[in-house]
């Protein structure tokens, strides 16, 4: 072998050896964490603006922080042991509210930084909330900020002549001029600000009567991409402010600038024209430690929204460097909560480590925490009994009778409901008589007594009991004879001619057991055949979001203690609706309630009327109101039942820490 070949071979062998060592090191088992808990399925995302489920929120609540945080408030309930929680200072060390309840002024901590040491300022909240609301972010909780002026219009992309707007040019870092758009909406392209003075529209195409709704929506969207927006453009000052009355010229913008029949050679390509949310009156940042937030009307639960993770900060510098979703990789993500992400092993665990740069790090006791990805209650219980887990949130239902006798088992009522979404666009479930028949034919007592067995309460309405000041409508009554009558009236006497339906659920033993009971009940009582479809969490969420199902299992835990957290889900085209259901009067009632924040009795009456419409039309089949059923080791202090089954990990202590 020639010397140069031998040297090249030895160099290559060395490189391969180093690579193998690095590769092998990635798969070395982690040393045991100080505290380990069951987290259910693998989180689909760790982005606060993209997450929707409990596996995600249990991580996000502990690695990110917002203006406020939910902490214990007062003594536990004497009867249930549930610990009340309230919104308390976090990144904001204090805040004041104007006399009319519409202006909040937050005083931010000057020692709040990201885990990489980058300071946190009031501008970070303006940027984070703008990202949350941006249409391309697709945040399913964006509606929670709709009481900020212009937030809803910005999120939905609605503009009209006379609006103060922004036009984002087609020059994001990865945009192709005249070609494909960047897959990242942040960092943004160049922004032009000004007043919209005209919208030039080509002739609207005609749509045949045979065209499906989906095809029509796509055709309308394509037509709107040819619209040309004429804007009186204003200059932006060095401090970022816009003088809307100082017009520097008139410019035109269009998404399809090169092909639109109403564009000209001066028309500039744009990603879209939106209301200029971040330059108008909703948010003001007079200095780095002061944030002023204005609302359209008083919102009694606004502090609770600010203690909920979609409104938490996300790191601008990290997102703009790595893009989404890569910014959430364990070797790139930066956090500002009590913990940070140290390692993420797919289908295994997420390792959390104490964030030494957290503003209250001295009060964080546990150094390392593992969130274990296991959907099996049996597996979780075995790990608990053998000392591999300190906390199990979902033990197997078959053992609940035995577990109730143990001191380490802590059941408690929750503000939460288990239900089945219905695709109301697909026959035969587009008929309200069929939906009510199915709902009435289900024996919920069998489900809670023989399957769940933890004290769950059968649900015949949407909003759980325990909402202060709110009285739900009575709800519907289970009635098999009435269910059969409704089914026959809808054209399916005795179930004859009724097509087979598919019931979708995400992988979990309890969900399957409940689905099997429903399958048998509906066959026995209505002669309706149900096929069961099981999918892992991520695929299940995608299918529900696309409304590509007949019936789909779901659940909802209150974001805050107010009926709107359950009712707002079902507004027309709401991000969480995912049923296709729409009711104009229902939407109107919620809008009326939203502006009645200073009239609490009237507000609750409006919400109850809306819930009655929901019960009458039944776009969703309620099953039962949850109870939490936590197993927690006796050496863990600071763990207590809460109304939403949330458990701030930075409050936990291990008894040996006190020695």
Find the CATH number of the domain harbouring 326.
3.40.190.10
CA distance 575 to 143: 8
**Which of 4-8, 288-292, 312-316, 534-538 bottoms out in mean pLDDT, i.e. has the lowest?**
4-8
Q: State the number of CA atoms in the 13 A half-sphere of 324 facing the CB.
A: 22
Average pLDDT of the chain, as a whole number: 93
Measured between alpha carbons, how far is residue 554 from residues 43, 108, 576, 605 in Å?
16, 37, 11, 27
The pTM of this model reads 0.88
25's CB contacts (< 8 A; 6+ apart) are: none
Q: In degrees rounded to 5, what are phi and psi of residue 54?
A: -70, -40
Out of 283, 311, 339, a domain closes at 311
User: For residues 416, 567, 449 and 535, what is the CA-based torsion angle, rounded to 10 degrees?
Assistant: -80
User: What would the two tokens of residue 275 be?
Assistant: 């209301």
Among 561, 568, 553, residue whose Cα is nearest residue 622:
553
| pLDDT for 79 | 85
| pLDDT for 179 | 87
DSSP 8-state secondary structure symbol assigned to residue 40: B
Residue 563, pLDDT above cutoff 60: yes
Residues 320 and 287 in one domain: no
Residues 361 and 305 in one domain: no
In-domain check, residue 635: yes
Among 347, 342, 367, 294, residue whose Cα is nearest residue 145:
294
| pLDDT for 1 | 45
Out of 255, 281, 311, a domain closes at 311
Q: Bridge partners of 630?
A: 410
Among 196, 187, 222, residue whose Cα is nearest residue 207:
222
In-domain check, residue 571: no
Residue 315, pLDDT above cutoff 60: yes
Percent share of the chain, pLDDT over 90: 90
Per-residue pLDDT band for 184 (boundaries 50, 70, 90) equals very high
Residues 255 and 169 in one domain: yes
Work out the average pLDDT over 30-48. 96
Identify the CATH number of the domain in which residue 140 sits. 3.90.76.10
Work out the average pLDDT over 120-132. 98
Out of 276, 311, 346, a domain closes at 311
Residues 350 and 455 in one domain: no
Residues 120 and 42 in one domain: no
| pLDDT for 214 | 82
Per-residue pLDDT band for 16 (boundaries 50, 70, 90) equals very low
In-domain check, residue 469: yes
Q: In degrees rounded to 5, what are phi and psi of residue 25?
A: -65, -30
Per-residue pLDDT band for 28 (boundaries 50, 70, 90) equals low
User: What would the two tokens of residue 203 be?
Assistant: 């002739």
Measured at the alpha carbon of residue 578, what is the angle toward residues 573 and 582, in degrees to the nearest 5?
45
Residues 147 and 254 in one domain: yes
Q: In degrees rounded to 5, what are phi and psi of residue 195?
A: -105, 130
Sign of CA dihedral 258, 260, 265, 269: negative
User: What would the two tokens of residue 226 be?
Assistant: 């040819």
The predicted-structure confidence for 619-630, as pLDDT tens digits, reads as follows 999 999 999 999
Give the structural domain span for 137. Answer: 86-311
Per-residue DSSP letters for 638-655?
A: S----TT----GGG-EEG
Are 87 and 65 a contacting pair, CB within 8 Å? no
In-domain check, residue 596: no
CA distance 181 to 173: 10
Work out the average pLDDT over 169-192. 94
Q: State the number of CA atoms in the 13 A half-sphere of 258 facing the CB.
A: 5
**Number of structural domains found in the chain:** 3
In-domain check, residue 185: yes
Work out the average pLDDT over 33-39. 98
- Evaluate the omega torsion of the peptide bond into residue 187 and state whether it is cis, within 30 degrees of 0: yes
**Which of 319-323, 400-404, 563-567 bottoms out in mean pLDDT, i.e. has the lowest?**
400-404
User: What would the two tokens of residue 287 be?
Assistant: 């200095």
| pLDDT for 24 | 39
Residues 145 and 259 in one domain: yes
Residue 646, pLDDT above cutoff 50: yes
Identify the CATH number of the domain in which residue 427 sits. 3.10.105.10
581's CB contacts (< 8 A; 6+ apart) are: 422, 424, 570, 617, 619
CA distance 499 to 490: 13
In-domain check, residue 72: no
Burial 93-125 (b: 16+ CB within 10 A, else e): bebeeeeeebebbbebbeebbbbeebebbbebb
Are 525 and 441 a contacting pair, CB within 8 Å? yes
Residue 15, pLDDT above cutoff 70: no
In-domain check, residue 173: yes
Residues 112 and 57 in one domain: no
In-domain check, residue 447: yes
- Name the 3-class secondary structure at 611: helix
Work out the average pLDDT over 229-233. 98
The predicted-structure confidence for 49-65, as pLDDT tens digits, reads as follows 999 999 999 999 999 99
Residues 116 and 62 in one domain: no
Residues 219 and 289 in one domain: yes
Residues 100 and 199 in one domain: yes
Work out the average pLDDT over 207-234. 93
The predicted-structure confidence for 517-527, as pLDDT tens digits, reads as follows 999 999 999 99
Percent share of the chain, pLDDT over 70: 95
Among 164, 135, 120, residue whose Cα is nearest residue 280:
164
Work out the average pLDDT over 29-40. 94
Among 62, 553, 148, residue whose Cα is nearest residue 354:
62
Helices (H), 87-121: none
Residue 470, pLDDT above cutoff 90: yes
Residues 320 and 306 in one domain: no
Are 291 and 125 a contacting pair, CB within 8 Å? yes
């Amino acid at each position: 072998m020639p010397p140069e070949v031998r040297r090249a071979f030895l160099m290559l062998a060395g490189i391969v050896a180093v690579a193998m060592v690095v590769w092998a090191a990635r798969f070395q088992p982690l040393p045991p964490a100080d505290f380990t808990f069951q987290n259910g399925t693998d989180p689909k995302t760790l982005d606060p603006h993209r997450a929707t489920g409990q596996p995600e929120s249990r991580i996000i609540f502990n690695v990110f922080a917002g203006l406020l945080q939910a902490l214990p408030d007062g003594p536990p309930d004497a009867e249930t042991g549930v610990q009340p929680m309230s919104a308390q200072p976090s990144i904001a060390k204090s805040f004041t509210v104007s006399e009319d309840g519409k202006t909040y002024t937050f005083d931010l901590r000057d020692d709040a930084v990201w885990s990489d040491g980058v300071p946190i300022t009031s501008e970070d909240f303006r940027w984070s909330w703008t990202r949350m609301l941006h249409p391309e972010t697709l945040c399913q909780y964006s509606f929670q900020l709709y009481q900020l002026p212009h937030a809803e219009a910005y999120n939905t992309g609605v503009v009209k002549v006379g609006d103060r707007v922004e036009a984002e040019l087609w020059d994001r870092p990865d945009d192709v001029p005249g070609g494909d758009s960047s897959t990242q909406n942040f960092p943004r392209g160049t922004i032009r600000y000004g007043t919209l003075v005209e919208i030039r529209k080509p002739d609207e195409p005609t749509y045949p009567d045979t065209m499906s709704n989906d095809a029509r929506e796509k055709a309308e969207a394509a037509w709107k991409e040819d619209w040309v927006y004429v804007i009186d453009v204003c200059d932006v000052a060095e401090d970022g402010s816009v003088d809307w009355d100082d017009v520097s010229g008139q410019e035109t913008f269009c998404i399809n600038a090169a092909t639109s029949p109403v564009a000209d050679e001066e028309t500039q390509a744009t990603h879209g024209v939106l209301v200029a949310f971040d330059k108008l009156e909703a948010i003001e940042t007079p200095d780095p430690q002061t944030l002023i937030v204005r609302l359209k009307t008083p919102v009694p639960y606004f502090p609770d929204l600010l203690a909920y993770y979609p409104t938490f900060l996300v790191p601008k510098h990290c997102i703009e460097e790595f893009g989404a979703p890569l910014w959430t990789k364990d070797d790139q993500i930066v956090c500002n909560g009590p913990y940070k992400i140290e390692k993420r092993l797919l289908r295994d665990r997420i390792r959390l480590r104490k964030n030494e740069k957290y503003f209250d790090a001295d009060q964080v006791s546990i150094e390392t925490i593992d969130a274990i990805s296991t959907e099996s209650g049996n597996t979780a219980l075995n790990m608990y009994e053998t000392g591999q887990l300190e906390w199990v949130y979902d033990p197997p239902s078959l053992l609940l009778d035995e577990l109730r006798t143990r001191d380490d088992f802590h059941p408690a009522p929750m503000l939460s409901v288990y239900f089945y979404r219905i695709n109301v666009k697909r026959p035969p479930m587009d008929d309200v008589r069929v939906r009510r028949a199915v709902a009435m034919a289900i024996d919920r007592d069998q489900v809670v007594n023989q399957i769940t067995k933890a004290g769950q309460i059968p649900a015949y309405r949407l909003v759980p009991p325990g909402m202060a000041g709110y009285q739900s409508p009575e709800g519907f009554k289970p009635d098999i004879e009435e269910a059969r009558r409704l089914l026959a009236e809808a054209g399916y006497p005795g179930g004859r001619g009724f097509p087979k339906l598919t019931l979708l659920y995400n992988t979990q033993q309890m969900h399957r057991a409940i689905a099997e009971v429903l399958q048998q009940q509906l066959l026995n009582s209505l002669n309706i055949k149900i096929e069961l479809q099981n999918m892992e969490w991520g695929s299940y969420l995608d299918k529900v979001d696309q409304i590509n199902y007949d019936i789909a299992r779901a659940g909802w835990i209150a974001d805050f203690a107010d009926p709107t957290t359950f009712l707002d889900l079902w507004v027309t085209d709401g991000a969480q609706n995912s049923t296709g259901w729409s009711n104009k009067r229902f939407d109107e009632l919620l809008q009326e309630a939203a502006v009645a924040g200073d009239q609490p009795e009237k507000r609750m009456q409006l919400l109850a009327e809306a819930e009655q419409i929901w019960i009458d039309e039944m776009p969703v089949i309620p099953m039962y109101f949850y109870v939490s059923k936590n197993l927690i080791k006796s050496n863990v202090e600071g763990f207590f039942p809460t109304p939403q089954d949330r458990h701030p990990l930075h409050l936990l202590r291990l008894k040996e820490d006190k020695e």
